[in-house]
Amino acid sequence: MEIRKLKSSKVLEKELLRAKIQLERNLKFSLDTPEGLSEIFGLDLLLNKTKTLKERLREIREITIEDIQNTARKIFTPENLNLVVVGPFNKEQRKKSEEIIALLR
């Protein structure tokens, strides 16, 4: 499973570069829509911190492979897992859910 791989091995430099390029493009394009602007301004209000486009782009460019792995190890833990089941939940589905949870360990 990709989550386990992300926690145990480092992402490739080219994958990280591709993700950074995508994030930068998304950020720049978001400035062209009311929804994108409201998302940016809303985040600024929530965090009580205003950042310029230049600052945001710098932060994206400074992300390292180690940052990705450390963040994955902090976030993808059984303690942070939330599971919602709607409708009947049979034994087979329960077993599959437990297998997924075990992968996070």
Residue 72 lies in a domain: yes
Q: Report the CATH number at residue 18.
A: 3.30.830.10
Report pLDDT for 29: 94
Residue 17 lies in a domain: yes
Residue 94 lies in a domain: no
CB 103 within 8 A of CB 1: yes
Q: How many domains does the chain have?
A: 1
Q: For tokens 């492979």, what's the residue?
A: 65
Count the helix, strand and coil residues of the chain and give each as a percent rounded to the nearest 5: 70, 0, 30
Report pLDDT for 53: 92
pLDDT in tens, 44-76: 999 999 999 999 999 999 999 999 999 988 988
The residue ranking higher by pLDDT, 88 or 67, is 67
Report pLDDT for 1: 55
Report pLDDT for 86: 78
pLDDT in tens, 10-39: 889 999 999 999 999 999 999 999 999 999
Residues 33, 38, 39, 42: what is their CA dihedral angle, to the nearest 10 degrees? Answer: 170
What pTM did the predictor assign? 0.72
Structural domain boundaries, residue 69: 2-76
Residue 57 lies in a domain: yes
Report pLDDT for 12: 92
Rounded distance, CA 56 to CA 99, Å?
38
